[in-house]
A and B are shown apart, each in its own frame.
Chain A
């Protein structure tokens, strides 16, 4: 289903994060210290229940980090906080050195460079596949610009390239609602690619996929490495193993905080992790 891994691919066309320069313009992400995301002492409670309990974690620019943890560990809440959907009771959330995410609303955060993949694939079902990608494309998203927007040749080329990457070129004109579950997952990832985010948050991207699709997705994310930073929340340990490899960092969350941090092997041997999550 996914394009085979040996298909020649152009990644630069898909990523727009050459923003590693030190000359800052307002709104640009400052990664001069090598860190793209800071979450510091963040607490979120719902009716007395602490979904996040003084959570702190940071993500290096260009890193692909897997986050695992049992249900209710606060993984999705953490993503909600980073994307502006949920305001923390206290704590700091910064994108790069300068951008305080707790002061921005969802669309502003998205325009600043954070893309988010939902657990359940969410695409625009009444729109053809190519229009889904067009809507996601990084461009001026104001109403006036949209009213006057033209579908330029360059825009079409980017849509075409992304369609090939996610293996949906043959479905370009079909309504997104007619796609299978796995195809919708890929379309949503294609939409994120069109957004050219600096940071990509993926909430259980492999949920509901077949084994083959899962591995193809791991390969796709692997190819994106270096073009943007990624934070992947996942349950499927095989998928995590494929993504993290031997040296990649894995963060284990439980009860709203970080339980352990390290390579997959390290966290697997961690007593606290075995106790609360993996089981003996």
Chain B
């Protein structure tokens, strides 16, 4: 204590500390770069190779190779791959809010569906006079005896406008919902239940014919997109590549966000929101940013999904769909970026197998996954891979150490 009094007496409001500052830290340096590299070099190389392989391989296999070739990509496989990638984008979006921000949304199916409906309106309009009734209006409106388009259908014949709707409508909805929910500090399971209720309410609304979105049939029988036949192999290939490009860009964007200081703030908020508030951060703005971004990403996935599968209806908004998304993320490993992508592909791959061979057991399998994964692999596939890698490295390091010791004892 005696020596501190001298220090204390020398303390006071004073400028000119730069020199001192450096002196104080002379013994220890963090030596960190201003921003962390998005990906390590080998990962960039691998990603580049993957992009090249898909970008050249897929068009070649689907368009150039004859249908008789074993390497030919059929329309079925292309669509299936495209679908899986849409799910992967949605899982990535959900993981941003759940894995990194701690907000478990059980209503992301709503944003996915809204994106699908946004592009669906355009696809319905571009059927033109080729529908069953040969009318200016979409078939379901003729069927309902409507004589004019509802106001919110105006402008949807333009693809650009429909794409804007895909982004803007879910963004506005998510922002408004999030603003009120987060401002009232609704958290945890309560928030999950509200999001579930939200998507359920939207589903009921969209089931009504009067809402003007085709009721329980939704939109289907699409003919063309941007002037191209929607079933043409070329169109399918382009849609597949667009989805792949979106997935890659979404991954890189998510990675940039997660590695930024904002990413660190958001994970800190997940772990101790009170501490963060007393450090001067307003959680509301951070949550709204991640939440809205996630909703938009999910909507984009939905907008890519609908032209490939050819249908969108209110069952996309059913609570079960949103819960399934959470399972993809949990299986893949939340709080990682590759995990949810792998999880979405793995679970949906299993789903395709099950529905093809033993359809009646699918829901049992899904339920079992939901119970077993958190118990056996709490960190999902990503955690499993990490553990295995660590074990392999550990074994290698151990082997190296033992050879070193042997070498020494010999010499």
Contacts and interface: CB of A to CB of B under 8 A. Distances in A.
Interface of A: 5-6, 8-13, 17-18, 20, 83, 105-108, 110-111, 115-116, 118, 122-127, 130-131, 134-136, 141-143, 146-152, 156-161, 163-164, 169, 172, 191, 195, 215, 218-219, 222-223, 225-227, 242
**Max chain B C-beta neighbours (<10 A), residue from A106, A142, A152, A158:** A106
B379 to A, nearest CB: 13
Interface stretch (B20-28, B209-217, B230-238, B318-326): B20-28
Contact of B286 (A11, A143, A172): A143
Given A110-B279, A111-B280, A222 B261 contact: no
Nearest to B23: A10
Nearest to B31: A156
A146 to B, nearest CB: 4
Given A10-B21, A161-B25, A215-B1, 17 more contacts: A10-B24, A12-B11, A13-B17, A13-B21, A124-B272, A125-B271, A127-B267, A141-B282, A146-B261, A150-B35, A157-B25, A160-B24, A160-B25, A161-B24, A172-B30, A222-B4, A225-B8
A223 B278 contact: no
A107 B30 contact: no
Interface residues of B, number: 50
A142 B285 CA distance: 8
Contact of A222 (B1, B262, B279): B1
Contacts of B278: 83, 106-107, 110, 115-116
Nearest to A124: B268
Query: Which 7 A/B pairs are nearest by Cβ-Cβ distance?
Result: A160-B25, A110-B280, A111-B280, A150-B34, A149-B261, A146-B262, A18-B13
Contacts of A163: 28
A195 B25 contact: no
Interface in B251-269: 257, 260-262, 264-265, 267-268
Contacts of A8: 23-24
7 contacts: A20-B13, A108-B282, A142-B285, A143-B286, A150-B35, A161-B21, A227-B13
Contact of A141 (B4, B21, B260, B281): B281
B234 to A, nearest CB: 39
B104 to A, nearest CB: 17
A147 B290 CA distance: 11
Given A10-B20, A122-B272, A169-B27, A242 B1 contact: yes
Contact of A12 (B20, B33, B268): B20
Contacts of A242: 1
Nearest to B265: A146
